[in-house]
Amino acid sequence: MQIRTVLLGATNRFSRHPVVLFSLDEKSSTVAEKLARQAVDVQNLMGVPGMRIVETGLGDGQSGFECINPELGRDLIRYISLLAFEIGKNANQTDRAQRLATELARQWKPGIEHNAAQAAVRLGIPWEVVAKSDRPLIALGQGVHRRLFWQAFTPASSEIGTVFSTPKNIMGKMLYDAGLPVPKQAMAGTVEDAQRVAAKIGWPVAVKPARTDFGVGITTGIRNAQELRGAFDIAKEFGEVLVQKHIEGNGHRLLVHNGKCIAAVRQIAAHVIGDGRSSVSELIAKTNETRKDYLSRDWKKIEINEGLIQMLNRVGLDLDSVPARDQVVRLRGNTNISQGGTCERVTDDVHPANKALAEAAAAVFGLDLAGVDMQTTDIGSPLLEKNGAIIEVNATPAWFMMEDGTSLEDQIVRSFFPAPTHGRIPIIVCIEEKPEIAELIASALAASHVVAKSTSDGLAVGGHVFTQDKNARCSNRIQAALNNPLAEIAVVSATAEDLVRYGLGTDRVSLVVGARGVERSALQCLGRSSDATLVFGEDLGAFVGDRTPEGDLWCLTDITTDAAPNGVTIVAYAGDGLLHVKKADEAIRELHSGQALSSEEPLALQVAAMMSQSFLPT
């Protein structure tokens, strides 16, 4: 069974989302609906709710579905094409479909569930997965507001701070030099060196790889030479080894953002609780059933490794041991959530002196976002009173800190996208056969803005031509303009046919400008996503009474009038640069075109003023 597909950009005649339309050579509404349903279900599996099957009205065997972005749409086209091929062979496609769905979910889910992407959805900030992987690159915002997020790195993460907070020996020295409380420590090249360090600083000790993240290879609470030897061998697998005085108490993570401690958790080491029947390995498997392969609010899976086995051996257990009912079996010496640990919120319990220490520790490395790990028996008392210490400073901390809802993640992301722009640049779309209006607007705006002008001639930014592709669809061209980090405003020219057939390519537009005789179908396509629409006076009648645009409707005319239909703002050109602006039931406002170009005026009025002398008779 052959399938024909077309991918529509966001804001099209069916939806604000990108849409995949497809038809089958063997007309079957049942099969078409099944394929569309499969595509929607796969997106649900990825963590994308709300996508729907599109009612195309195009006849039997033709269907469609929404998707969150064009790249995912292309992957889903590949998916349903393979399913259609299998159905055409009358094969049982269940197993194949499941494998394909699982693979797509594996590729996309980490990006879709990334903290920055989820926050962007809640805050209305445009976003995309730039590179799919288990460590995806996420882009938020448009043009000059575009920012990149990767793992727990923010756009402001300090490379120097990250590099020098990672080696634990250097990190400890820098904190010590700044007068902050840290454990006594020294590097050890051999087991014998480690034993000498332990004897000097005093037992118990902790042994760590000097240059690893996420709690890898760490053993704590070491009380004798035999335990030290095993811990050294584990740490040595990851490079240079650091021996550190063991600090009693619980691990705590204090999150510092832009110089302020905004959240804190008490970290709980990975563990299982016995049921009297299951072995330790079986209990770990049961615990992992609800966890993820990566850091998330559902916690990370517990990995069985040599460090875990040694931890069990220290209390006389192994993986086959069956703990008693309600027996708590600790599996790690450290409390890192990246090693299968969990945590509980203690933000309100942290002593102000400890918050100040965390803020100072982050400042030592110049980090905008830092997770400062403290070990103490009581986080509600000053660290020094309880012989506590700062154990680590993490330059890429996990964002979830058991705060209510998602306020923490939103706060971090919002700091890069302050209101009122919310990461968006103004977008003006001109519906015209030739880019005359777009050229005029772009030229007028270029005096005060870096304009990304996208027309059938190509993309020009700041007056410099970046690309030339006369065959490119508007839905592709507009993305290039919005992804350009120099662009302060985008001016796009597109034909009505292009917009109706393939969509616009973005979910929101500041202003749609229709050339004379603009097709109603094109305005219907863009109207659902436009803040305002500007048409010429002779075209106004097609929209008054049966309003197509959902935003404000503006009309540019050469007839000075005191009449303005409800919901319409008339901009009349009276000659010599004089404009009359009239809303229904309001007096005429008279101003010169130069005054109308003020940034305090609505964008539609500014554009009308630009167009008035060139596109209206004098």
Query: For 49-80, what is each residue's pLDDT tens digit?
Result: 899 999 887 665 679 999 999 999 999 999 99
For residue 88, which amino acid is it? G
Separation between Cα atoms, residue 39 and residue 100, nearest integer Å:
11
Which residue stretches of 257-325 are H helix? 280-288, 306-313
* Structure confidence by residue, pLDDT tens digits, 123-138: 999 999 999 988 999 9
| Residue 244 reports pLDDT greater than 60 | yes
Do residues 51 and 18 make contact, with C-beta atoms less than 8 angstroms apart?
A: no
* Structure confidence by residue, pLDDT tens digits, 136-186: 999 999 999 999 999 999 999 999 999 999 999 999 999 999 999 999 999
Separation between Cα atoms, residue 586 and residue 236, nearest integer Å:
79
Do residues 174 and 167 make contact, with C-beta atoms less than 8 angstroms apart?
A: no
Q: Measured in Å, how far apart are the chain's first and last C-alpha atoms?
A: 61
Report the SS3 class of residue 19: strand
**Per mean pLDDT, which range of 14-18, 489-493, 562-566 is the poorest?**
562-566
| Residue 546 reports pLDDT greater than 90 | no
**Per mean pLDDT, which range of 298-302, 328-332, 385-389 is the poorest?**
298-302
Mean pLDDT of 452-478: 89
| Residue 588 reports pLDDT greater than 70 | yes
Report the share of the chain in percent with pLDDT over 70. 94
| Residue 549 reports pLDDT greater than 60 | no
Q: Which CATH class is domain 427-615?
A: alpha beta
Separation between Cα atoms, residue 545 and residue 31, nearest integer Å:
41
What's the pLDDT at 58?
Answer: 66
Q: What is the DSSP letter of 584?
A: T
The secondary structure of 29-80 as a DSSP string is HHHHHHHHHHHHHHHHHHT-TT--B----S-TTEEEEE-SSHHHHHHHHHHH
Q: What is the dihedral of CA 573, 578, 579, 585, to 10 degrees?
A: -110
Separation between Cα atoms, residue 576 and residue 259, nearest integer Å:
56
Q: Which residues contact 617 (CB under 8 A, 6 or more apart)?
A: 558
Exposure of 94 by Cβ count < 10 A (0-12 exposed, 13-18 middle, 19+ buried)? exposed
| Residue 543 reports pLDDT greater than 80 | no
Mean pLDDT of 570-586: 89
* Structure confidence by residue, pLDDT tens digits, 27-54: 667 888 889 999 999 999 898 989 999 9
Would you state the structure tokens that stand for residue 454, as one six-digit string? 């996208």
Residue indicated by tokens 């399938």? 3
327: number of Cβ within 10 Å: 14
For residue 190, which amino acid is it? T
Separation between Cα atoms, residue 53 and residue 32, nearest integer Å:
10
Q: What is the DSSP letter of 523?
A: H
More confident residue, 92 or 204: 204
| pTM to 2 decimal places | 0.87
Q: What is the dihedral of CA 50, 130, 469, 437, to 10 degrees?
A: 60
For residue 463, which amino acid is it? G
Separation between Cα atoms, residue 79 and residue 276, nearest integer Å:
46
Do residues 556 and 608 make contact, with C-beta atoms less than 8 angstroms apart?
A: yes
* Structure confidence by residue, pLDDT tens digits, 319-358: 999 999 999 999 987 787 888 988 889 999 999 999 999 9
Domain regions of the chain by residue span: 3-110, 115-155, 184-245, 251-404, 427-615
Cα–chain-centroid distance for residue 482? 16
Do residues 242 and 183 make contact, with C-beta atoms less than 8 angstroms apart?
A: no
CATH hierarchy code of domain 184-245? 3.30.1490.20
Confidence class for position 618, pLDDT limits 50, 70, 90: low
**Per mean pLDDT, which range of 297-301, 401-405, 585-589 is the poorest?**
401-405
Q: What is the mean pLDDT of the chain?
A: 90
Exposure of 165 by Cβ count < 10 A (0-12 exposed, 13-18 middle, 19+ buried)? buried
Confidence class for position 470, pLDDT limits 50, 70, 90: confident
Would you state the structure tokens that stand for residue 311, as one six-digit string? 């931890």
CATH hierarchy code of domain 251-404? 3.30.470.20
